[in-house]
Amino acid sequence: MLSWAVTFLIIAIIAGVLGFGGIAGTSAGIAQILFFIFLVLFVISLFRGALRR
C-alpha cells in the first residue's frame, strides 16, 4: 500500500514539473488517500499486535 502511495507521489511530482497541473493534482490526491489508508491499517495492526501479547 505504501509503495502505491509513493508511486503516485512520484507521478505527481513528475507531472507537476512537466506542467500537467490536473494530472499532478489528481495523482497527489490519490497518493494522499492511499497514505492515510496505509496509516490507518498500520495503527490497527499495531493495536492488534499489542492486544495479542
pLDDT of the residue at 42:
93
Question: Looking at the predicted structure, is the pLDDT value of residue 9 above 90?
Answer: no
Task: Supply the DSSP symbol for 14.
Answer: H
pLDDT at position 25? 87
Cβ-based neighbours of 8, under 8 Å, separated by 6 or more: 27, 28, 30, 31, 34
Cα–Cα dist 3/9, whole Å: 10
More confident residue, 4 or 39: 39
Cell of 37: 489508508
For residue range 11-50, list pLDDT tens digits in order. Answer: 888 988 888 888 888 888 888 998 999 999 999 999 998 8
pTM: 0.73
Is it the case that residue 3 has pLDDT exceeding 90? Answer: no
Contact 2, 36 (CB under 8 A): no
